[in-house]
Amino acid sequence: MDITWYLVLSALIFAVGVTGVLLRRSPLVILLCLELMLNAGNLALLAFSRSLGNEEGQVFALVVMVVAACEVVVGLGLIVAAYRRRIPLNVDELRSLRG
């Protein structure tokens, strides 16, 4: 399989993720769509790593995974905190920041 196929698939998954962020209202689903985009990036990194015959891209993808895990932890913490304070979980209503 040409590496191009993997790159096109990665672009497709990224576009689906962007569409999800633009379309959905629930912060939980928006986080899921961010995961989609990060994973599309990981797939592209691995494809380039394979096409260059060099493992450094895979280390990069591993770091992306770590960053994604951090993003999930903080994002879910925010969702749980918002839910506890009876704040509606809808990004259209989560517009103002108050201390």
Partner 1 sequence: MKEVAFFAGAIGALGGAIAVIGLRNPFYSVLALIIHLISLAGLFLLLQGEFLAAAQIVVYAGAVMVLYVFVAAYVGNVDEPLWEPIPGQRFIAPLLGIALFVELGIAIVGSGLRSIESEGPTVELGFGSPEAIGTLLLERFLIAFEAASLLLLVAAVGAVVLAARKRPSEEAG
Which residues of this chain interact with partner 1, rule CB under 8 A?
Answer: 1-9, 11-20, 22-26, 28-29, 31-33, 35-36, 39, 42-43, 46-53, 55-56, 58-59, 61-63, 65-74, 76-81, 83-84, 89-90, 92
32/96 with CB nearer partner 1: 32
Q: How far is the CB of 99 from partner 1 (least distance, A)?
A: 13
Helix (H) or strand (E) holding 92: none
Per-residue 3-state assignment (H helix, E strand, C coil) for 44-72 = HHHHHHHHHCCCHHHHHHHHHHHHHHHHH
Q: How far is the CB of 6 from partner 1 (least distance, A)?
A: 7
Three-state SS for 7? helix
CB 41 within 8 A of CB 14: yes
Q: How far is the CB of 52 from partner 1 (least distance, A)?
A: 6
Rounded Cα gap, residues 88 and 43, in angstroms: 35
84/98 with CB nearer partner 1: 84
